[in-house]
Amino acid sequence: MTLFTELRPLSRLSDGDEDGRAGDEAPLRARAAPATASTARPVPTAVISAITVLVILGLWSLASAHALVSPVFLPSPRQVLVAAYGLVVTGFVDATLAEHVGASLYRIFGALIASILIGIPAGLAIATSRVGRGILDPIVEFLRPLPPLAYLPLVIIWVGIGEASKITVIALAMLPSIILSTSAGVRSVSKDHVNAARSLGATPRQVLGQVVLPSAVPSILTGIRIALGAGWTTLVAAELVAATSGIGFMIQSAAQFLVTDIVIAGIVVIALIAIVFEYVARLIERRLVPWASHR
Amino acid sequence: MSILSFRDVSLRYPQRPGLRSAAGDNLVLDSINLQVSSHELVAIIGRSGSGKTSLLNLAAGFILPTSGTIAVDGEPIRGPGADRAVVFQDDALYPWLDARDNVGFPLKLKGVPRAERHERARQLLELVGLGEAGDRHIWELSGGMRQRVGIARALAAEPRFLLLDEPLGALDALTRSRMQEFLLRIQSRSGAGAVLITHSIDEALILASRVLVLSPNPGRLTAEIEAGFSSEILAGTPIERIKASPLFKRLHDGLTSLIHSLPNEEAAA
Ligand SMILES: Nc1ncnc2c1ncn2[C@@H]1O[C@H](COP(=O)(O)OP(=O)(O)O)[C@@H](O)[C@H]1O
Ligand SMILES: [Mg+2]
């Protein structure tokens, strides 16, 4: 052991940290590894999750097949599939599924663009200027904990029942996380990174554009991903209350006529879209800022 | 030829309320006088906390002295500038740029067109022995390679002085000794003056034409040694042979006992 300790610094040909503990523990772990491998391979989490989904679908099928619950309240999975097919082909309340989804997506991306255009400069202002923080902090702190549906009626009074009110409400729901993630990202910029740029001849403007903003991008993207999630829940809720198209409106109309299979199909579509958002957002993060995980 | 000079420079960090030091005084650097000319490499050694980084940050212009003047060719400095490029201990490379764009960064700041920037970056990467690494992500490079990219980036600014804050401190022993010789050759070829902060007496003696000792609390330059081994190394004498020479050993022992005789900041704190 003494010999090992003495030889360690020389045997490290590649660069490493100066922390010696990892070197001491590594052999222990290496010896322990085969033992665990030979006992039992653990069931992958994904398999457990898949089984859970299948069990729920199975219970659902059983319940509706034996008419434990009235089909009005709980249509069978098959009925829901048929309803979903009908939605795609002929639609419901004057619009196909694609048109409802399209209306919802239009709103959410309109709101996303608006909140990015406002949120990133606002976040920058909070992080870089005392005055900016003084002005914007109370507004963000007021807005952040408010459930968007609380101010939906007011927004409708102000901008009417049309698209603008929905986009405004969703944008307001998205804004705090974009503002806060931008300012957090800007504030987390490494002091050495800034100083390096200054000593290499950067002007304050160049420091902002070439160093501060790029290092805030991972945080901003995370903020956008969270905003998208928050915006989607708000959107569907807003459409339930006040809309003439959109996936939320479709569910609300179906519920009024007790067309439960459409309601369930709609809920599944909402969930699927949210999952796709999350997936695509993570994909974009990995593409755009592969370095974020290597900081 | 350029001269970087410190004249009666003192530094006091603003006192934080409720955090009063035992001495009741937070003077970090006291009456520093120092002249570094281009083509020479001056090393500053001292225990941690003696104010080495503060001294370098003053030279870089990141902070301003409480009193005294720091000037380049008689012109007092007012802030950071590309004439004094810093190489950091933790490389401070930009992870969103590949090696080539990191090296080309100072040129981009100056508005040098892309093609020219790439060509210059390629030359500099070749100079530091990384001709093939231009497309590599920063996080794919080893610590030694990163430091070389950092040095190439500093050189791209065509500085009159290189300010090196323990640039080899995070490297393992083998890489470190290879990098020492490399650093020496690059600095002498670049024609820039250099201030090297280190806490390795070996490194200071090998690389520097002059070694200055910074004593802590408050930081004062208390000793100066003309080393001069660097010219032998540049002439081709292996570092190991120099380290074995009686003169080197004598200077090394002298510096070691000098530094050990200085008050220990850690113990006082
Ligand atoms: N920004 C700062 N504000 C207040 N005190 C500081 C600051 N930076 C360094 N110091 C203090 O100044 C002294 C010298 O620090 P530093 O220059 O980093 O020394 P070294 O690089 O030799 O380790 C230390 O006591 C440290 O606590
Ligand atoms: Mg230091």
B166 and B234 fall within a common domain:
yes
Q: DSSP assignment, residue A1?
A: -
For ligand 1, is residue B11 a contact (CB within 6 Å)? no
Task: Quote the ligand 1 centre to B224 CA distance (angstroms).
Answer: 22
pLDDT tens sequence across A224-249: 999 999 999 998 888 887 788 999 99
Nearest-angstrom CA–CA distance, A185 and A204: 18
User: pLDDT value at position B4?
Assistant: 95
Strand order in the sheet with B3-12: B27-37, B3-12, B67-72, B75-76
pLDDT at residue B199, rounded to an integer: 84
Interface ipTM? 0.88
Q: How many structural domains are present in chain B?
A: 2
Q: Are residues B113 and B168 in the same domain?
A: no
Q: Do B183 and B171 share a domain, yes or no?
A: yes
pLDDT, one tens digit per residue, over A14-56 is 444 434 344 444 444 444 444 455 567 888 999 999 999 999 9
Are both B210 and B260 inside the same structural domain? yes
> Average pLDDT over chain A, rounded to whole?
85
Q: Is the dihedral of CA A126, A129, A132, A133 positive or negative?
A: positive
- Cα separation, A190 vs A226, in Å, equals 24
For position B21, what pLDDT does the model report?
Answer: 52
In-domain check, residue B32? no
- Here the tokens at position B69 are 């003047």
pLDDT at A139: 93
CB contact under 8 A, A193 and B94: yes
Distances A5 to A2, A30, B60 between C-alpha atoms, Å: 5, 17, 40
What is the distance in A from the centroid of ligand 1 to the CA of B12? 10
Interface of A with B in 270-289 (CB under 8 A): 289
Q: Is B28 in the pocket of ligand 1 (CB under 6 A)?
A: yes
Q: Do B56 and B210 touch, CB atoms closer than 8 A?
A: no
Of A9, A192, A201, the CB nearest to B172: A9
Question: At B265, which CATH number?
Answer: 3.40.50.300
Same domain, B229 and B204: yes
What per-residue confidence (pLDDT) applies to B16?
A: 65
pLDDT tens for A189-198 read: 999 999 999 9
Q: What residues pack around ion ligand 2 (CB closer than 5 A)? A: B 53
Cβ contact (<8 Å) for A200 and B138?
A: no
Q: Residue B228 belongs to what domain range? A: 1-21+37-83+162-269
Among B133, B158, B183, the domain boundary falls at B158
CA dist A103 and A88 (Å) reads 15
B137: contact with A, CB 8 A cutoff: yes
B108 and chain A: CB distance < 8 Å anywhere? yes
Nearest to B173 among A10, A202, A291 (CB): A10
Domain boundary assignment for chain A: 73-293
Rounded to the nearest angstrom, the gap between the alpha carbon of residue B222 and the centroid of all alpha carbons in its chain is: 19
pLDDT score at A33: 47
- The answer to whether residues B182 and B53 belong to one domain is yes
B65, B52 in Cβ contact below 8 A?
no
B68's tokens: 């005294």
> What pTM does this model have?
0.81
Nearest atom of ligand 1 to the alpha carbon of B63: 1
Of B62, B108, B138, the CB nearest to A195: B62
Confirm whether B29 is domain-assigned: no
- Distance from Cα B52 to the centre of ligand 2, integer Å: 6
Where is B163: in which H helix or E strand?
strand B161-165
B89 domain-assigned:
no
Residue finishing a domain among B112, B135, B158: B158
Point out the residues of chain B with pLDDT beneath 50: 268-269
Would strands B75-76 and B27-37 be described as parallel, antiparallel, or unpaired? unpaired
Per-residue pLDDT tens digits for A241-293: 778 899 999 999 999 998 999 999 999 999 999 999 999 999 999 998 988 88
Phi, psi of B45 (to 5 degrees): -115, 155
Report yes or no: B85 at the A interface, CB cutoff 8 Å: yes
Domain boundary among B127, B158, B189: B158
Question: Is residue B117 assigned to a domain?
Answer: yes
Strand, helix or coil at B38? coil
Reported as a single tens digit per residue, the pLDDT across A105-124 is: 999 999 999 999 999 999 99
B123 class by beta-carbon count within 10 Å (0-12 exposed, 13-18 middle, 19+ buried) = middle
Say yes or no for a CB contact (<8 Å) between B109 and A206.
Answer: yes
In order, the DSSP letters of A192-256 are HHHHHHHHTT--HHHHIIIIIHHHHHHHHHHHHHHHHHHHHHHHHHHHHHS-SSSHHHHHHHHHH
The pLDDT assigned to B217 comes to 83
The predicted pLDDT at position A218 comes to 94
Q: What is the pLDDT of residue A16?
A: 40
For domain A73-293, the CATH class is mainly alpha
Secondary structure of residue B110 in the 3-state scheme? coil
- Token readout for A276 is 């796709």
| Of residues B104, B88, B105, the one with CA closest to residue A192 | B88
